[in-house]
Chain A
Amino acid sequence: MSSALNAAERGARLAFGNVSVRYPGRTQRALDHVSVVAEPGKMTAVVGPNGSGKSTLVRTLLRRVPLESGQVTVGGVDVASLDARELARRIAIVPQREEPVLPLRVEEFVALGRHARRSAFGGMSDDDRAAVASAVDRAGIGDAIGRRTDTLSGGEWQRVRIARALAQAAPVLVLDEPTTFLDIAHEMAVFELLDELASQGQTVLLVSHQLNLVARFATHIVLLHRGTVAAAGDAASVMRGEILERVYEWPLVVTRDPAVGAPALLPLRGSGRSRERPST
């Protein structure tokens, strides 16, 4: 791996400062003065119920929504001052949903991560090839090389998308619910991969529904509720019964994750009555 690549992969601070977003035609803000900071070398997680503003936060990075107020900076630079290519070199984003529309081979798809660093003509440079190879290696998709993306399983597809983001060699990696639809083994593999990337110095910002895994892996957790920050801090300070019950509007109990001792959540009610009845 070239040294230029290593330098690019060192993390940069990603900071949302007092960000407010209001979608056209809505009275309530999707985000209301939200501040989130993702530090290099750490996994920061944004959690919250559906509609709490998690994905909107990611969309402000894609600049698909206008900011009503506030500022987003990466490495101290205002995101609004960057053009699309400059932004893609600093922040790699794995959006929530994506279908394999082009019948590309896995390596061709991952190479699209180099788009913002390549000229329109001309092949891949040595740096490009090294970045793609490293991304494929780190995402653990070496076996899928040569296959077409429209033949991959859900777990492979998700990791191939992460590999594409890694090929961007951006100091900041942002993922919007990367483990939706994944089974336990694939979900754990993604979390372990992100954990490892963070430990290598990358800034990792993760939007997730998986509170228990977030509590286990993330260094810093931000809990969103109706567009505002309901709680922020380490797992112990966010994963508290009274806060989560209020935000998720469901009775629950916080216990201990037996694997690592992190706080873990169990929803209450719903006794599973149907199991006690003989099936007809």
Chain B
Amino acid sequence: MLLLAVVILGLSIGAVPIATRDVLDALRGIGDPSTIAIVRDLRAPRVLLAALVGAGLASSGGALQGTLRNPLAEPYLLGVSGGAAVGAVTAMAVGVVQPALITLCAFVGAAIATVVVTAIARVVGGSADTKLLLMAGVVVGAFANAAILVALADAPPERLRGALFWMMGSAADATWPAVARCAGALLVLGGILVWRARDLDVLSLGDEPAAALGVDVDRVSRQMFLVASWLAAATVAAAGLIGFVGLVVPNIARALGARQHRPMLLMSALYGAVLLVAADLLARTLRAPADLPLGAVTALVGVPFFLLRLRRLTA
């Protein structure tokens, strides 16, 4: 219901305000041709992409939190998204144009970032301490941003999307093919996470209890981490780096009473979609006609949330 409401709001509000009734008509192909074009070709893909990216980031974050047993884990803070962005940017800089291949490169970048982050945490801490993991993630994320800036410094702006798009994210350039790709990734990868949700329940109990209950801890953690990273990479390839959705939403889902991972992931996907559609709406309207980066809006909401959560965690 909430999702439906923000989606309709997202379709109505914009540079040209359109009444809800006209939006519904336009979706069915009735009414003024220019209204139909705005709703169907500009706003609908943008709103849907924001919803899918939000759902993907939130469920990815929820799965990472379970795997790492840390409620502050999420793809952006872990540097996974940053790695994905570097992968995508690198691919485009060397001339790759097929979207599927770019997504694959984003995933490879995310996987490399994951390996680097866990290696840093292990070398510094002696074991994979999750606090160190987050710290290493932030460092790798900063490095990724720098790498994006350097890689795109002399890029022709008409061929490559700008560094700002990658570093702060946006759903402004949404197209129907991008929506379809993102929907496919969410269905398959999010589906795997939901399907394996009870493994996440058991994993989050700790290494030894999980092993005692019949989970091959190292293998299953690795699998879950990879699937969650791939899902995050797919969102990055579609809409750039958008932080804190993966952090905020699963925590809200838990606060609303989702105790096990299956309901938590499903709830996260739903609320993640709502949150990002709403954030995108803010991005378009807050300082209209300027189109704010989506990641800037989520960071403005997410950072205070992170600090509050951190305080409760260490209190």
Contacts and interface: CB of A to CB of B under 8 A. Distances in A.
Nearest to B215: A84
Given A98-B209, A104-B259, A120 B202 contact: no
Contacts of B212: 62, 88, 92-95, 165
B175 interface: no
Contacts, number: 75
Contacts of B214: 84-89, 115-116
B304 to A, nearest CB: 24
Contacts of A102: 201, 204-205, 259-260
A115 B217 CA distance: 14
B32 interface: no
A199 B37 CA distance: 77
A115 B204 CA distance: 14
Contact of B260 (A59, A108, A120): A108
What interface size band does chain A fall in?
35 or more
Q: For the complex of A and B, list the 4 residue pairs with the smallest distance between their C-beta atoms, beginning with the closest.
A: A88-B214, A116-B214, A95-B208, A93-B212
Interface string A61-96: 011100000000000000000011111110011111
Given A102-B259, A103-B254, A112 B195 contact: no
Interface in B163-211: 195-196, 198-199, 201-202, 204-209, 211
Nearest to A104: B259
> Which residue, of A86, A115, A116, has the highest number of chain B Cβ atoms within 10 A?
A115
A120 B198 contact: yes
B40 interface: no
Contacts of B201: 102, 104, 112
B208 A116 contact: no
A149 to B, nearest CB: 10
A115 B199 CA distance: 8
Contacts of B215: 84, 115
Contacts of A115: 198, 202, 213-215
B69 interface: yes
B33 to A, nearest CB: 47
B169 to A, nearest CB: 31
A165 B212 CA distance: 9
Interface of B: 69, 195-196, 198-199, 201-202, 204-209, 211-216, 254, 259-260
A118 B198 contact: yes
B196 A120 contact: yes
Q: Which of A62, A96, A105, A113 has the most CB of B within 10 A?
A: A62
A64 B210 CA distance: 11
A133 to B, nearest CB: 19
A259 interface: no
Contacts of A120: 195-196, 198-199
B213 A168 contact: yes
Contacts of A121: 195
A101 interface: yes
A81 B259 CA distance: 35
A135 to B, nearest CB: 13
Given A103-B254, A105-B259, A63 B69 contact: no
B206 A98 contact: yes
A63 B207 CA distance: 11
A268 B267 CA distance: 60
B221 to A, nearest CB: 12
A99 interface: yes
B278 to A, nearest CB: 27
A108 B202 contact: no
Contacts of B211: 62-64, 84
Given A102-B201, A103-B259, A84 B216 contact: yes
A101 B206 contact: yes
Contact of B213 (A86, A96, A103, A116): A116
Interface centre among A63, A87, A120 (most CB of B within 10 A): A120
A108 B259 contact: yes
